[in-house]
A and B are shown apart, each in its own frame.
Chain A
Protein backbone atom coordinates (compact mmCIF):
# COMPACT_ATOMS: atom_id res chain seq x y z
CA UNK A 1 0.00 0.00 0.00
CA UNK A 2 1.38 3.37 -0.93
CA UNK A 3 1.52 6.14 1.65
CA UNK A 4 -0.06 9.52 1.00
CA UNK A 5 3.20 11.14 0.00
CA UNK A 6 4.16 8.30 -2.34
CA UNK A 7 1.34 9.23 -4.67
CA UNK A 8 2.42 12.83 -4.66
CA UNK A 9 5.97 11.71 -5.43
CA UNK A 10 4.87 9.48 -8.28
CA UNK A 11 2.69 12.23 -9.72
CA UNK A 12 5.63 14.62 -9.50
CA UNK A 13 8.13 12.24 -11.07
CA UNK A 14 5.70 11.59 -13.92
CA UNK A 15 5.59 15.28 -14.66
CA UNK A 16 9.31 15.87 -14.63
CA UNK A 17 11.68 13.96 -16.91
CA UNK A 18 15.31 13.13 -17.58
CA UNK A 19 17.86 14.23 -15.00
CA UNK A 20 15.53 15.23 -12.23
CA UNK A 21 13.67 11.96 -12.44
CA UNK A 22 16.83 9.89 -12.17
CA UNK A 23 18.16 12.06 -9.36
CA UNK A 24 14.96 11.39 -7.43
CA UNK A 25 15.12 7.63 -8.00
CA UNK A 26 18.80 7.69 -7.04
CA UNK A 27 17.97 9.48 -3.80
CA UNK A 28 15.36 6.86 -2.91
CA UNK A 29 17.80 4.05 -3.59
CA UNK A 30 20.86 5.53 -1.89
CA UNK A 31 19.09 7.47 0.89
CA UNK A 32 18.80 4.68 3.46
CA UNK A 33 22.48 3.70 3.22
CA UNK A 34 23.46 7.32 3.25
CA UNK A 35 21.85 8.03 6.63
CA UNK A 36 23.42 5.10 8.41
CA UNK A 37 26.87 5.78 6.93
CA UNK A 38 26.56 9.47 7.70
CA UNK A 39 25.64 8.73 11.28
CA UNK A 40 28.59 6.40 11.81
CA UNK A 41 30.99 8.83 10.11
CA UNK A 42 29.71 11.77 12.18
CA UNK A 43 30.16 9.72 15.33
CA UNK A 44 33.78 8.88 14.44
CA UNK A 45 34.70 12.37 13.21
CA UNK A 46 32.92 14.31 15.96
CA UNK A 47 34.98 12.64 18.62
CA UNK A 48 38.23 12.45 16.57
CA UNK A 49 38.06 16.18 15.84
CA UNK A 50 37.19 16.78 19.51
CA UNK A 51 33.86 18.42 18.74
CA UNK A 52 32.54 16.45 21.67
CA UNK A 53 34.48 15.29 24.68
CA UNK A 54 35.84 11.81 23.93
CA UNK A 55 34.71 10.69 27.35
CA UNK A 56 31.07 11.43 26.54
CA UNK A 57 31.31 9.91 23.08
CA UNK A 58 34.37 7.76 22.42
CA UNK A 59 35.20 7.30 18.69
CA UNK A 60 33.42 4.45 16.94
CA UNK A 61 36.74 2.78 16.10
CA UNK A 62 37.72 2.71 19.79
CA UNK A 63 34.37 1.14 20.67
CA UNK A 64 34.66 -1.46 17.92
CA UNK A 65 38.20 -2.28 19.01
CA UNK A 66 36.91 -2.74 22.54
CA UNK A 67 34.21 -5.14 21.34
CA UNK A 68 36.82 -7.13 19.41
CA UNK A 69 39.05 -7.32 22.49
CA UNK A 70 36.19 -8.57 24.69
CA UNK A 71 35.32 -11.06 22.00
CA UNK A 72 38.84 -12.48 21.86
CA UNK A 73 39.15 -12.51 25.65
CA UNK A 74 36.06 -14.70 25.80
CA UNK A 75 34.12 -12.48 28.20
CA UNK A 76 31.72 -11.16 25.58
CA UNK A 77 30.56 -14.56 24.23
CA UNK A 78 30.07 -15.70 27.83
CA UNK A 79 28.01 -12.61 28.73
CA UNK A 80 25.87 -12.96 25.61
CA UNK A 81 25.30 -16.65 26.31
CA UNK A 82 24.31 -16.00 29.93
CA UNK A 83 21.92 -13.17 29.05
CA UNK A 84 20.34 -15.13 26.21
CA UNK A 85 19.98 -18.20 28.41
CA UNK A 86 18.09 -16.22 31.08
CA UNK A 87 15.94 -14.46 28.50
CA UNK A 88 14.98 -17.60 26.63
CA UNK A 89 14.25 -19.74 29.70
CA UNK A 90 12.07 -16.96 31.12
CA UNK A 91 10.38 -16.41 27.76
CA UNK A 92 9.53 -20.09 27.34
CA UNK A 93 8.22 -20.20 30.92
CA UNK A 94 6.05 -17.12 30.31
CA UNK A 95 4.88 -18.59 27.01
CA UNK A 96 3.81 -21.92 28.55
CA UNK A 97 2.06 -20.27 31.50
CA UNK A 98 0.59 -17.46 29.43
CA UNK A 99 -0.81 -19.54 26.57
CA UNK A 100 -2.24 -22.24 28.83
CA UNK A 101 -3.90 -19.71 31.16
CA UNK A 102 -5.05 -17.71 28.16
CA UNK A 103 -6.78 -20.78 26.76
CA UNK A 104 -8.23 -22.05 30.05
CA UNK A 105 -9.44 -18.75 31.55
CA UNK A 106 -12.18 -17.90 29.05
CA UNK A 107 -13.44 -21.51 29.02
CA UNK A 108 -13.84 -22.28 32.74
CA UNK A 109 -16.17 -19.90 34.56
CA UNK A 110 -14.71 -20.32 38.06
CA UNK A 111 -11.14 -19.77 36.85
CA UNK A 112 -12.24 -16.74 34.90
CA UNK A 113 -13.93 -15.34 37.99
CA UNK A 114 -10.75 -15.79 40.01
CA UNK A 115 -8.22 -14.51 37.49
CA UNK A 116 -10.16 -11.66 35.88
CA UNK A 117 -9.51 -8.98 38.58
CA UNK A 118 -5.93 -10.19 39.09
CA UNK A 119 -5.12 -9.80 35.42
CA UNK A 120 -6.92 -6.50 34.98
CA UNK A 121 -4.82 -5.09 37.82
CA UNK A 122 -1.61 -6.93 36.94
CA UNK A 123 -1.47 -5.97 33.27
CA UNK A 124 -1.05 -2.19 33.58
CA UNK A 125 1.05 -2.42 36.77
CA UNK A 126 4.83 -1.80 36.51
CA UNK A 127 5.82 -5.35 37.44
CA UNK A 128 9.49 -4.47 37.72
CA UNK A 129 8.62 -2.75 41.04
CA UNK A 130 8.28 -6.26 42.50
CA UNK A 131 11.97 -6.90 41.86
CA UNK A 132 13.01 -6.34 45.51
CA UNK A 133 10.37 -8.85 46.60
CA UNK A 134 11.62 -11.41 44.09
CA UNK A 135 15.14 -10.83 45.40
CA UNK A 136 13.91 -11.38 48.95
CA UNK A 137 12.09 -14.60 48.08
CA UNK A 138 14.30 -16.22 45.48
CA UNK A 139 17.78 -14.87 46.17
CA UNK A 140 20.21 -13.12 43.87
CA UNK A 141 20.88 -15.82 41.32
CA UNK A 142 19.32 -17.12 38.13
CA UNK A 143 16.07 -18.29 39.77
CA UNK A 144 14.92 -14.86 40.83
CA UNK A 145 16.08 -13.24 37.57
CA UNK A 146 14.26 -15.78 35.42
CA UNK A 147 11.09 -15.69 37.53
CA UNK A 148 11.03 -11.88 37.49
CA UNK A 149 11.35 -11.79 33.70
CA UNK A 150 8.74 -14.51 33.19
CA UNK A 151 6.34 -12.73 35.56
CA UNK A 152 6.77 -9.42 33.72
CA UNK A 153 6.04 -10.98 30.34
CA UNK A 154 3.27 -13.46 31.13
CA UNK A 155 0.35 -11.03 31.62
CA UNK A 156 0.67 -9.76 28.06
CA UNK A 157 0.68 -13.30 26.69
CA UNK A 158 -2.34 -14.31 28.80
CA UNK A 159 -4.37 -11.34 27.64
CA UNK A 160 -3.59 -11.69 23.91
CA UNK A 161 -4.19 -15.45 23.95
CA UNK A 162 -7.44 -14.87 25.83
CA UNK A 163 -8.80 -12.35 23.34
CA UNK A 164 -7.42 -14.21 20.30
CA UNK A 165 -9.07 -17.52 21.17
CA UNK A 166 -12.32 -15.72 22.02
CA UNK A 167 -12.48 -13.86 18.73
CA UNK A 168 -12.18 -16.80 16.36
CA UNK A 169 -14.87 -16.62 13.65
CA UNK A 170 -17.97 -18.43 14.85
CA UNK A 171 -18.58 -19.86 11.36
CA UNK A 172 -15.34 -21.84 11.57
CA UNK A 173 -16.34 -23.40 14.88
CA UNK A 174 -19.88 -24.12 13.72
CA UNK A 175 -18.65 -25.75 10.53
CA UNK A 176 -16.22 -27.96 12.44
CA UNK A 177 -18.94 -28.90 14.90
CA UNK A 178 -21.43 -29.76 12.19
CA UNK A 179 -18.78 -31.96 10.61
CA UNK A 180 -18.70 -33.88 13.88
CA UNK A 181 -15.52 -32.54 15.57
CA UNK A 182 -15.21 -33.07 19.32
CA UNK A 183 -14.59 -30.11 21.66
CA UNK A 184 -10.97 -31.11 22.00
CA UNK A 185 -10.55 -31.30 18.23
CA UNK A 186 -12.21 -27.92 17.83
CA UNK A 187 -9.82 -26.39 20.35
CA UNK A 188 -6.62 -27.81 18.88
CA UNK A 189 -7.46 -28.03 15.20
CA UNK A 190 -9.66 -24.98 14.73
CA UNK A 191 -9.38 -22.41 17.52
CA UNK A 192 -5.65 -22.69 18.15
CA UNK A 193 -4.48 -22.40 14.51
CA UNK A 194 -7.03 -19.68 13.79
CA UNK A 195 -5.83 -17.57 16.71
CA UNK A 196 -2.12 -18.32 16.18
CA UNK A 197 -1.41 -15.00 14.38
CA UNK A 198 -2.62 -12.93 17.34
CA UNK A 199 -0.94 -15.24 19.87
CA UNK A 200 2.34 -14.76 18.00
CA UNK A 201 1.79 -11.01 18.05
CA UNK A 202 1.43 -11.25 21.83
CA UNK A 203 4.69 -13.19 22.01
CA UNK A 204 6.36 -10.59 19.81
CA UNK A 205 5.29 -7.90 22.27
CA UNK A 206 6.46 -9.99 25.22
CA UNK A 207 9.96 -10.68 23.87
CA UNK A 208 11.22 -7.06 24.03
CA UNK A 209 9.82 -6.85 27.56
CA UNK A 210 11.84 -9.96 28.46
CA UNK A 211 15.02 -8.37 27.07
CA UNK A 212 14.41 -5.08 28.87
CA UNK A 213 13.71 -6.74 32.21
CA UNK A 214 16.54 -9.27 31.99
CA UNK A 215 19.04 -6.42 31.59
CA UNK A 216 17.55 -4.58 34.57
CA UNK A 217 17.73 -7.67 36.79
CA UNK A 218 21.37 -8.10 35.79
CA UNK A 219 22.11 -4.46 36.53
CA UNK A 220 20.45 -4.65 39.95
CA UNK A 221 21.70 -8.07 41.11
CA UNK A 222 24.91 -8.52 39.14
CA UNK A 223 25.90 -12.08 38.29
CA UNK A 224 27.45 -11.53 34.83
CA UNK A 225 25.59 -11.07 31.59
CA UNK A 226 25.48 -8.03 29.31
CA UNK A 227 23.54 -5.85 31.78
CA UNK A 228 25.96 -6.50 34.62
CA UNK A 229 29.08 -5.86 32.53
CA UNK A 230 27.62 -2.64 31.14
CA UNK A 231 26.67 -1.25 34.54
CA UNK A 232 30.13 -2.12 35.86
CA UNK A 233 31.67 -0.11 33.00
CA UNK A 234 29.43 2.82 33.94
CA UNK A 235 30.49 2.58 37.59
CA UNK A 236 34.17 2.64 36.60
CA UNK A 237 33.37 5.57 34.26
CA UNK A 238 34.73 3.47 31.41
CA UNK A 239 32.93 5.08 28.51
CA UNK A 240 34.20 2.81 25.68
CA UNK A 241 32.90 -0.09 27.79
CA UNK A 242 29.44 1.50 28.11
CA UNK A 243 29.22 2.20 24.38
CA UNK A 244 30.51 -1.28 23.56
CA UNK A 245 27.71 -2.59 25.78
CA UNK A 246 25.09 -0.54 23.95
CA UNK A 247 26.29 -1.76 20.56
CA UNK A 248 26.40 -5.38 21.76
CA UNK A 249 22.96 -5.21 23.36
CA UNK A 250 21.60 -3.48 20.26
CA UNK A 251 22.91 -6.25 18.02
CA UNK A 252 21.65 -9.02 20.30
CA UNK A 253 18.23 -7.33 20.52
CA UNK A 254 18.08 -6.88 16.76
CA UNK A 255 18.92 -10.55 16.13
CA UNK A 256 16.39 -11.80 18.67
CA UNK A 257 13.57 -9.62 17.32
CA UNK A 258 14.42 -10.51 13.71
CA UNK A 259 14.42 -14.24 14.48
CA UNK A 260 10.99 -13.87 16.08
CA UNK A 261 9.78 -12.38 12.79
CA UNK A 262 11.34 -15.26 10.82
CA UNK A 263 9.75 -17.83 13.12
CA UNK A 264 6.41 -16.10 12.67
CA UNK A 265 6.66 -16.26 8.90
CA UNK A 266 7.69 -19.92 9.09
CA UNK A 267 4.78 -20.88 11.39
CA UNK A 268 2.24 -18.92 9.38
CA UNK A 269 3.27 -20.13 5.93
CA UNK A 270 -0.35 -21.19 5.37
CA UNK A 271 -1.76 -17.80 6.43
CA UNK A 272 -2.61 -15.06 3.96
CA UNK A 273 -0.44 -12.48 5.75
CA UNK A 274 2.66 -14.41 4.62
CA UNK A 275 1.55 -14.43 1.01
CA UNK A 276 1.40 -10.66 0.87
CA UNK A 277 4.59 -8.84 0.04
CA UNK A 278 6.32 -6.83 2.72
CA UNK A 279 4.98 -3.29 2.67
CA UNK A 280 7.58 -1.41 4.66
CA UNK A 281 9.82 0.94 2.75
Chain B
Protein backbone atom coordinates (compact mmCIF):
# COMPACT_ATOMS: atom_id res chain seq x y z
CA UNK B 1 0.00 0.00 0.00
CA UNK B 2 1.37 3.37 -0.97
CA UNK B 3 1.92 6.17 1.54
CA UNK B 4 -0.96 8.21 0.15
CA UNK B 5 -3.34 5.26 0.41
CA UNK B 6 -2.28 4.62 4.00
CA UNK B 7 -2.79 8.28 4.86
CA UNK B 8 -6.22 8.24 3.19
CA UNK B 9 -7.11 5.10 5.12
CA UNK B 10 -6.31 6.68 8.46
CA UNK B 11 -7.80 10.11 7.69
CA UNK B 12 -10.95 9.32 9.74
CA UNK B 13 -8.79 9.00 12.86
CA UNK B 14 -7.20 12.35 12.05
CA UNK B 15 -10.67 13.90 11.70
CA UNK B 16 -11.66 12.52 15.09
CA UNK B 17 -8.46 13.86 16.65
CA UNK B 18 -9.07 17.32 15.16
CA UNK B 19 -12.71 17.30 16.31
CA UNK B 20 -11.57 16.29 19.79
CA UNK B 21 -9.07 19.14 19.96
CA UNK B 22 -11.46 21.70 18.44
CA UNK B 23 -14.53 20.96 20.59
CA UNK B 24 -12.53 21.05 23.80
CA UNK B 25 -10.54 24.18 22.88
CA UNK B 26 -13.74 26.01 21.89
CA UNK B 27 -15.30 25.04 25.21
CA UNK B 28 -18.11 22.98 23.66
CA UNK B 29 -17.20 20.16 26.01
CA UNK B 30 -15.97 20.80 29.54
CA UNK B 31 -12.32 19.95 29.97
CA UNK B 32 -13.27 17.94 33.05
CA UNK B 33 -15.17 15.57 30.78
CA UNK B 34 -12.70 15.54 27.92
CA UNK B 35 -9.28 17.19 28.25
CA UNK B 36 -7.91 18.59 24.96
CA UNK B 37 -5.87 16.07 22.98
CA UNK B 38 -2.73 18.23 23.15
CA UNK B 39 -2.96 18.25 26.97
CA UNK B 40 -3.28 14.49 26.93
CA UNK B 41 -0.18 14.20 24.76
CA UNK B 42 1.85 16.53 26.97
CA UNK B 43 0.67 14.56 30.05
CA UNK B 44 1.83 11.41 28.34
CA UNK B 45 5.37 12.75 28.01
CA UNK B 46 5.32 14.06 31.57
CA UNK B 47 4.25 10.61 32.80
CA UNK B 48 6.83 8.97 30.58
CA UNK B 49 9.54 10.96 32.32
CA UNK B 50 7.97 10.02 35.67
CA UNK B 51 6.80 6.47 36.43
CA UNK B 52 4.73 5.38 33.43
CA UNK B 53 7.44 2.97 32.28
CA UNK B 54 7.68 1.34 35.70
CA UNK B 55 3.95 0.71 35.95
CA UNK B 56 3.68 -0.45 32.35
CA UNK B 57 6.62 -2.80 32.85
CA UNK B 58 4.99 -4.31 35.92
CA UNK B 59 1.76 -4.91 34.02
CA UNK B 60 3.50 -6.43 31.01
CA UNK B 61 5.56 -8.73 33.24
CA UNK B 62 2.43 -10.02 35.01
CA UNK B 63 0.55 -10.49 31.79
CA UNK B 64 3.44 -12.20 30.02
CA UNK B 65 4.23 -14.72 32.79
CA UNK B 66 0.60 -15.72 33.32
CA UNK B 67 -0.13 -15.91 29.62
CA UNK B 68 2.97 -17.89 28.62
CA UNK B 69 2.34 -20.47 31.36
CA UNK B 70 -1.28 -20.81 30.24
CA UNK B 71 -0.12 -21.22 26.66
CA UNK B 72 2.35 -24.04 27.34
CA UNK B 73 0.12 -25.97 29.75
CA UNK B 74 -3.04 -25.32 27.77
CA UNK B 75 -1.76 -26.48 24.38
CA UNK B 76 -0.19 -29.63 25.90
CA UNK B 77 -3.34 -30.47 27.84
CA UNK B 78 -5.61 -29.83 24.85
CA UNK B 79 -3.59 -31.98 22.45
CA UNK B 80 -3.20 -34.83 24.95
CA UNK B 81 -6.93 -34.72 25.65
CA UNK B 82 -7.66 -35.11 21.98
CA UNK B 83 -5.10 -37.91 21.52
CA UNK B 84 -5.71 -40.14 24.55
CA UNK B 85 -9.31 -41.18 24.99
CA UNK B 86 -9.15 -41.96 28.74
CA UNK B 87 -7.79 -38.47 29.40
CA UNK B 88 -10.60 -36.99 27.34
CA UNK B 89 -13.28 -38.96 29.13
CA UNK B 90 -12.03 -37.88 32.53
CA UNK B 91 -11.25 -34.24 31.77
CA UNK B 92 -13.96 -33.28 29.29
CA UNK B 93 -16.83 -33.09 31.81
CA UNK B 94 -14.77 -30.76 34.01
CA UNK B 95 -14.07 -28.58 31.00
CA UNK B 96 -17.73 -28.43 30.10
CA UNK B 97 -18.60 -27.34 33.63
CA UNK B 98 -15.93 -24.69 34.01
CA UNK B 99 -15.52 -23.37 30.48
CA UNK B 100 -18.62 -21.11 30.40
CA UNK B 101 -17.78 -19.47 33.73
CA UNK B 102 -17.13 -15.73 33.29
CA UNK B 103 -13.41 -15.56 34.06
CA UNK B 104 -13.61 -12.26 35.94
CA UNK B 105 -15.27 -14.15 38.82
CA UNK B 106 -11.76 -15.36 39.62
CA UNK B 107 -10.52 -11.87 40.51
CA UNK B 108 -11.87 -11.84 44.11
CA UNK B 109 -10.67 -15.42 44.56
CA UNK B 110 -7.06 -14.68 43.60
CA UNK B 111 -7.13 -11.55 45.72
CA UNK B 112 -8.23 -13.61 48.72
CA UNK B 113 -5.82 -16.47 48.05
CA UNK B 114 -2.68 -14.65 47.06
CA UNK B 115 -3.18 -10.99 47.88
CA UNK B 116 -2.57 -7.84 45.91
CA UNK B 117 0.82 -8.42 44.34
CA UNK B 118 2.19 -9.86 41.12
CA UNK B 119 1.37 -13.45 42.06
CA UNK B 120 -2.37 -12.91 42.22
CA UNK B 121 -2.51 -11.27 38.77
CA UNK B 122 -0.30 -13.94 37.22
CA UNK B 123 -2.45 -16.71 38.71
CA UNK B 124 -5.60 -14.96 37.55
CA UNK B 125 -4.36 -14.69 33.96
CA UNK B 126 -3.03 -18.24 34.04
CA UNK B 127 -6.30 -19.79 35.21
CA UNK B 128 -8.42 -17.44 33.12
CA UNK B 129 -6.62 -18.13 29.83
CA UNK B 130 -5.99 -21.83 30.47
CA UNK B 131 -9.44 -23.22 29.69
CA UNK B 132 -10.00 -21.31 26.44
CA UNK B 133 -6.58 -22.45 25.20
CA UNK B 134 -7.18 -26.08 26.23
CA UNK B 135 -10.58 -25.99 24.55
CA UNK B 136 -9.35 -24.57 21.25
CA UNK B 137 -6.29 -26.85 21.10
CA UNK B 138 -8.54 -29.82 21.86
CA UNK B 139 -10.94 -28.92 19.06
CA UNK B 140 -8.05 -28.23 16.70
CA UNK B 141 -6.32 -31.55 17.39
CA UNK B 142 -9.55 -33.51 17.05
CA UNK B 143 -10.30 -31.85 13.75
CA UNK B 144 -7.13 -33.11 12.07
CA UNK B 145 -7.82 -34.83 8.75
CA UNK B 146 -8.00 -38.60 9.34
CA UNK B 147 -6.36 -39.25 5.97
CA UNK B 148 -3.16 -37.59 7.21
CA UNK B 149 -3.08 -39.85 10.26
CA UNK B 150 -3.83 -43.00 8.27
CA UNK B 151 -1.15 -42.17 5.70
CA UNK B 152 1.44 -41.59 8.41
CA UNK B 153 0.52 -44.89 10.08
CA UNK B 154 0.55 -46.62 6.70
CA UNK B 155 4.07 -45.42 6.16
CA UNK B 156 5.08 -46.98 9.43
CA UNK B 157 5.13 -44.01 11.81
CA UNK B 158 4.91 -44.83 15.49
CA UNK B 159 2.04 -43.39 17.57
CA UNK B 160 4.43 -40.84 19.10
CA UNK B 161 5.59 -39.76 15.66
CA UNK B 162 2.02 -39.44 14.43
CA UNK B 163 1.18 -37.27 17.42
CA UNK B 164 4.16 -34.93 17.27
CA UNK B 165 4.91 -34.87 13.57
CA UNK B 166 1.43 -35.04 12.07
CA UNK B 167 -1.31 -34.10 14.53
CA UNK B 168 0.42 -31.17 16.24
CA UNK B 169 1.69 -29.42 13.08
CA UNK B 170 -1.59 -30.00 11.25
CA UNK B 171 -3.64 -28.44 14.02
CA UNK B 172 -1.18 -25.57 14.62
CA UNK B 173 -3.07 -22.87 12.66
CA UNK B 174 -6.25 -23.42 14.67
CA UNK B 175 -4.34 -23.69 17.95
CA UNK B 176 -2.62 -20.39 17.25
CA UNK B 177 -5.84 -18.57 16.42
CA UNK B 178 -7.36 -19.91 19.64
CA UNK B 179 -4.40 -18.49 21.54
CA UNK B 180 -5.00 -15.10 19.93
CA UNK B 181 -8.46 -14.93 21.48
CA UNK B 182 -6.96 -15.71 24.88
CA UNK B 183 -4.40 -12.95 24.41
CA UNK B 184 -7.25 -10.44 24.27
CA UNK B 185 -8.80 -12.08 27.34
CA UNK B 186 -5.51 -11.79 29.23
CA UNK B 187 -5.50 -8.02 28.71
CA UNK B 188 -9.09 -7.72 29.92
CA UNK B 189 -8.27 -9.68 33.08
CA UNK B 190 -5.01 -7.81 33.70
CA UNK B 191 -6.50 -4.33 33.39
CA UNK B 192 -9.64 -5.26 35.37
CA UNK B 193 -7.68 -6.77 38.22
CA UNK B 194 -5.42 -3.73 38.41
CA UNK B 195 -8.35 -1.32 38.28
CA UNK B 196 -10.11 -3.18 41.07
CA UNK B 197 -7.23 -3.54 43.48
CA UNK B 198 -3.44 -3.20 43.08
CA UNK B 199 -0.40 -1.37 44.36
CA UNK B 200 1.19 -0.73 40.99
CA UNK B 201 0.69 -1.43 37.32
CA UNK B 202 -0.88 0.62 34.57
CA UNK B 203 -4.47 -0.06 35.70
CA UNK B 204 -3.58 1.20 39.16
CA UNK B 205 -1.96 4.31 37.65
CA UNK B 206 -5.08 5.11 35.59
CA UNK B 207 -7.28 4.68 38.64
CA UNK B 208 -4.99 6.85 40.77
CA UNK B 209 -4.81 9.68 38.23
CA UNK B 210 -8.58 9.58 37.71
CA UNK B 211 -9.28 9.78 41.42
CA UNK B 212 -6.80 12.65 41.74
CA UNK B 213 -8.70 14.58 39.07
CA UNK B 214 -5.80 14.53 36.58
CA UNK B 215 -8.01 13.56 33.65
CA UNK B 216 -5.43 14.37 30.97
CA UNK B 217 -3.07 11.92 32.68
CA UNK B 218 -5.87 9.35 32.98
CA UNK B 219 -6.61 9.58 29.25
CA UNK B 220 -2.89 9.24 28.53
CA UNK B 221 -2.77 6.06 30.62
CA UNK B 222 -5.86 4.64 28.94
CA UNK B 223 -4.41 5.32 25.50
CA UNK B 224 -1.10 3.73 26.53
CA UNK B 225 -2.62 0.44 27.64
CA UNK B 226 -4.98 0.36 24.65
CA UNK B 227 -2.00 0.84 22.34
CA UNK B 228 -0.09 -1.95 24.09
CA UNK B 229 -3.06 -4.28 23.69
CA UNK B 230 -3.35 -3.32 20.04
CA UNK B 231 0.33 -3.84 19.25
CA UNK B 232 0.46 -7.10 21.22
CA UNK B 233 -2.29 -8.43 18.97
CA UNK B 234 -0.62 -7.17 15.80
CA UNK B 235 2.75 -8.55 16.88
CA UNK B 236 1.18 -11.91 17.65
CA UNK B 237 -0.47 -12.04 14.23
CA UNK B 238 2.88 -11.26 12.56
CA UNK B 239 4.65 -13.99 14.52
CA UNK B 240 1.85 -16.39 13.71
CA UNK B 241 2.15 -15.71 9.97
CA UNK B 242 5.91 -16.23 10.08
CA UNK B 243 5.50 -19.43 12.08
CA UNK B 244 2.98 -20.83 9.60
CA UNK B 245 4.91 -19.86 6.48
CA UNK B 246 5.72 -23.52 5.75
CA UNK B 247 2.09 -24.14 4.92
CA UNK B 248 2.17 -22.06 1.76
Knowing A3-B82, A113-B12, say if A250 contacts B98 (CB, 8 Å). yes
Instruction: State the Cβ distance, A62 to closest chain B Cβ, in Å.
Output: 15
Determine if A181 is an interface residue (Cβ-Cβ < 8 Å). no
Knowing A4-B82, A36-B94, A117-B10, say if A132 contacts B102 (CB, 8 Å). no
Q: Which one of A56, A128, A237, A280 contacts B192 once the chains associate, using CB atoms below 8 Å?
A: A128
Instruction: State the Cβ distance, B221 to closest chain A Cβ, in Å.
Output: 8
Interface residues of A in 110-165 (CB under 8 A from B): 113-118, 121, 124-126, 128-133, 135-137
Q: From B88, which residue of chain A is reached at the shortest CB distance?
A: A281
B104 touches A253 (CB 8 A): no
Stretch in B45-53, B68-76, B105-113 with 4+ CB within 8 Å of A: B105-113
Q: From A30, which residue of chain B is reached at the shortest CB distance?
A: B89
Determine if B242 is an interface residue (Cβ-Cβ < 8 Å). no
A137 to B97, CA, bound (A): 38
Residues of B within 8 Å of A216, CB to CB, are 104, 107, 188, 192, 195-196
A254 touches B108 (CB 8 A): no
B109 touches A3 (CB 8 A): no
Residues of B within 8 Å of A113, CB to CB, are 12
Q: Which one of B12, B85, B188, B195 contacts A118 once the chains associate, using CB atoms below 8 Å?
A: B12
Size of A's binding interface in residues, CB under 8 A: 69
Residues of A within 8 Å of B187, CB to CB, are 126, 128
**Most chain B C-beta atoms within 10 Å of own C-beta, residue among A124, A129, A253:** A129
Size of B's binding interface in residues, CB under 8 A: 64
B188 touches A213 (CB 8 A): yes
A233 to B105, CA, bound (A): 12
- Is the contact region of chain A dominated by helix, strand, or loop, or is it mixed? helix
Residues of B within 8 Å of A39, CB to CB, are 94
Determine if A227 is an interface residue (Cβ-Cβ < 8 Å). yes
Q: Which one of A209, A211, A281 contacts B92 once the chains associate, using CB atoms below 8 Å?
A: A281
B residues neighboring A (CB under 8 Å):
9-10, 12-13, 16, 33, 82-86, 88-94, 97-98, 100-109, 111-113, 142, 144, 146, 149, 159, 162, 167, 184-185, 187-188, 190-192, 195-196, 203, 206-207, 210, 215, 218-219, 222, 225-226, 229-230, 232-234
A residues neighboring B (CB under 8 Å):
1-9, 27-28, 31-36, 39, 56, 113-118, 121, 124-126, 128-133, 135-137, 208-209, 211-216, 219-220, 226-227, 230-231, 233-234, 237, 239, 242-243, 245-246, 249-250, 253-254, 256-258, 280-281
